[in-house]
Structure 1
Amino acid sequence: MSRPPRTSSTITKKLLVLTSALTLTACSQAPATQEGTQTASAPQTGFPVTVENCGRELTFDRPPSKVVTGYHPSLETLLALGLSDRIAGRTFFGESAFLPGQKEQYDKIPQISETIMLPQKEVMLAQGADFVLDNAMAGFDTAGGYAGVAELDAAGSPVYILGGWCSPEETLQYTLDKTFTDLRNLGKIFGVSERAEKLVGALQGSLADAKKRVEGRTPVKVLATDGGKGPVNAYGGSGVTNQMITAAGGVNVLADVKGDYTEVSVEEVSAAQPEAVLVSDYATLRGEDMPSSPAKAEEAFAIAKNSPAAKEKRYLALPVAAQHPGYRNILAITDIAAFLHPDAFTR
């Protein structure tokens, strides 16, 4: 199977890389059901609430009780907020890199798509969701047979996109603080603001600790790659991965390359002379078009063969789910920082 053609949408590129390894059979899925969901009765204390997302105002008269989530970072963000009982349907997650304690919760939630993408229009509308959470607009592309945001809104299934990834341009404008904004907004929407604030505080503390540990140290020159022998699939100077590298005490050797997930020439990679390599890891998704992380690292080392990273075979497999907006990308910064500056984490 060949790698799907790239489009102008950054998130579409990454999602299509994932879905190319899977078979789309979502149309045969039955609508999800959820026992014990809240009834649409009298308004609850603290409601209605209104939040802004993708230039739209979303108003909720009560907490959602029949939620559908898209690609896994959206699901795990709700799980981190203790909202598993509100989730009526989820997409497939083909990676083994679950966050601690979340695999058991994932297994209990009905799967409505056998890919990481939301199901096609008819199946999606049949869910009867009262809230849809995802971190990409790709799953709402009507030209691709998906239910559009406006269609879902009209059906009573308002859509929220994490990280402000509402357009290709806004994807490039991502900053880490948007994760905290999302958590606070979700706290309001679900009536768990106190819980959300505690999670934000814990994540901010983790981020501050990582930054303090690497403060004053010489930044490590990092190449972030998703493999390729030429051109190379890599991460430029905009977006979530670049932000994570910087926060972890690194400097992106492709910071001058416009874009987030993009293609660069072998000459650019060879000349970059990275000291360390981050490799997007798809874990259980393997095959001709989905090489392993060690194989992708070896591709990078072969191209930048005289670099410090190649000489030391220094790379970190980074779960690709951490390279999307959501709770996990803040956690991953500590892992990257410990990889780049191990001596800063020995005390």
Structure 2
Amino acid sequence: MRRLLVLVAALTLTACSSAPATRETGREAGQAAAPQAGFPVTVENCGRKLTFDKPPAKVVTGYHPALETLLALGLGDRIAGRTNFSESPFLPGQKEQYVKIPEISDTIMLPQKEVMLAQGADFVLDNAMAGFDAAGGYATVEELDAAGSPVYILGGWCSPEEVLEFTIDDTYADLRNLGSIFGVPDRADALISELRGRLADVTKRVAGRTPVKVLAADGGRGPVNAYGGAGITNQMITAAGGTNVLADVKGDYTEVSAEKVSAAQPEAVLISDYATLRGEDMPSSPAKAAEVFAIARNSPAAKDQRYLALPVAAQHPGYRNILAIADIARFLHPDAFTR
């Protein structure tokens, strides 16, 4: 199986535990201290209540959108360990911070159980439950809770069913929760206002324009690896002034027959871009676009060779989602952004 399928499929495994996870950070047993202003804080995530008596100070992040989100909140100094990120461009100003944070895994996944537990983290942030699957050799949510390392999953991606229920509001909810957890609610509110402003600008610019028929795909010569009518990618297409030609297909990332793709007649194509993550089983974005155009060869998109390489990190929960909507809108409606 192609490596890209392993990546995307892995990020949608394993339902979330309902066990509670309460964390008192940075205190020796029996020590007393005056509570910090605004604490304790309790938030809900994956059906669990997470309680914090003080802001986390030793954080481990999983797949890169989790790191991006904390950096956007100005919390880079709290991150003690991160996973590898090499498949798509960094957001402006973030690579300099990324390289200073210790790498604890040479893949996008969290490290194996023993290494993960040895980190002594007081907070773990990731985009899905795959990195907590005991069958894969990872520390479970329950084991990390017991070690004082509560886990928060962005976007409500706590189970395959919840992946399909994602809405853009989930991104704002995550920022608000993280602002509370880290004691920086004002930063979170300011970032949310900024992102809402960006989205409102896009909405205003594309209002009244005919939606562009969009196919979002990840390549494939027989069945096409594509995005159906639920989840993040579908939400971004709609918000950017497009209409998903596979909106009637149940699911998010799924295989779609060549016949259905050919009949869809897209006017534009979004291609999941892994950029520098290359290998014999990892074709480039132009190569994947060529596969799709060969199947939909009579479509307007194929005739115009019209596609946008969309960083796959934008197709997972995190701060980047709203930024990607603006990029997609510029691609679909370039004349709406000339002023």
Normalising by structure 2, report the TM-score: 0.93
1:12 maps to which of 9, 13, 35: 9
Aligned residue in 1 for 2:16 = none
Aligned residue in 1 for 2:154 = 162
Aligned residue in 2 for 1:127 = 119
Aligned to 1:184, the other structure's residue is in SS state: helix
**Partner Cα separation in structure 1 for residue 111 and residue 76 of structure 2:** 20
**Partner Cα separation in structure 2 for residue 154 and residue 290 of structure 1:** 38
**Residues 16-73 of structure 1, C-alpha deviation per residue, up to 9 Å, x if partnerless?**
9xxxxxxxxxxxxxxxxxxxxx954543111000000000000000000000000000
Aligned to 1:90, the other structure's residue is in SS state: strand
**Partner Cα separation in structure 2 for residue 14 and residue 54 of structure 1:** 15
Aligned residue in 2 for 1:263 = 255
**8 Å contact 2:113–2:138 — kept in the other structure?**
yes
Aligned residue in 2 for 1:147 = 139
1:116 maps to which of 103, 108, 123: 108
**Partner AA of 1:93 in structure 2:** F
**Partner Cα separation in structure 2 for residue 15 and residue 119 of structure 1:** 18
**Partner AA of 1:75 in structure 2:** L
**Residues 75-114 of structure 1, C-alpha deviation per residue, up to 9 Å, x if partnerless?**
0000000000000000000124000000000000000000
**Partner Cα separation in structure 1 for residue 4 and residue 324 of structure 2:** 29
1:137 maps to which of 129, 132, 146: 129
How far apart are 1:287 and its partner, in Å?
1.9
**Partner AA of 2:176 in structure 1:** R
Aligned residue in 2 for 1:274 = 266
**Partner AA of 2:175 in structure 1:** L
**Residues 259-299 of structure 1, C-alpha deviation per residue, up to 9 Å, x if partnerless?**
00000110010000000000000010112211000111111
**Partner Cα separation in structure 2 for residue 135 and residue 4 of structure 1:** 18
**Residues 191-220 of structure 1, C-alpha deviation per residue, up to 9 Å, x if partnerless?**
000000000000000001001100111000
**Residues 235-255 of structure 1, C-alpha deviation per residue, up to 9 Å, x if partnerless?**
000000000000000000000
**Partner Cα separation in structure 1 for residue 280 and residue 4 of structure 2:** 16
2:65 maps to which of 68, 73, 82: 73
Structure 1 residues 73 and 238 mapped into 2: Cα distance closer, same or farther (>3 Å)? same
1:249 maps to which of 235, 241, 244: 241
**8 Å contact 1:11–1:136 — kept in the other structure?**
no
Aligned residue in 1 for 2:289 = 297
The runs of at least 4 consecutive aligned structure 1 residues that moved more than 6 Å come to none
Aligned to 2:303, the other structure's residue is in SS state: helix
**Partner Cα separation in structure 2 for residue 12 and residue 84 of structure 1:** 29
Aligned residue in 2 for 1:45 = 37
| Residue ranges of structure 1 left out of the alignment (5+ in a row) | 17-37
**Partner Cα separation in structure 1 for residue 224 and residue 136 of structure 2:** 27
| Residue ranges of structure 2 left out of the alignment (5+ in a row) | 14-24, 28-32
Q: Aligned Cα RMSD in Å?
A: 1.6
Question: How many residues end up aligned between the 2 structures?
Answer: 323
Aligned residue in 2 for 1:26 = none
Aligned residue in 2 for 1:206 = 198
**Partner Cα separation in structure 2 for residue 313 and residue 190 of structure 1:** 46
**8 Å contact 1:14–1:261 — kept in the other structure?**
no
Aligned residue in 2 for 1:319 = 311
1:97 maps to which of 89, 94, 99: 89
Normalising by structure 1, report the TM-score: 0.90
How far apart are 1:230 and its partner, in Å?
1.1
How far apart are 1:12 and its partner, in Å?
3.2
**8 Å contact 1:293–1:317 — kept in the other structure?**
yes
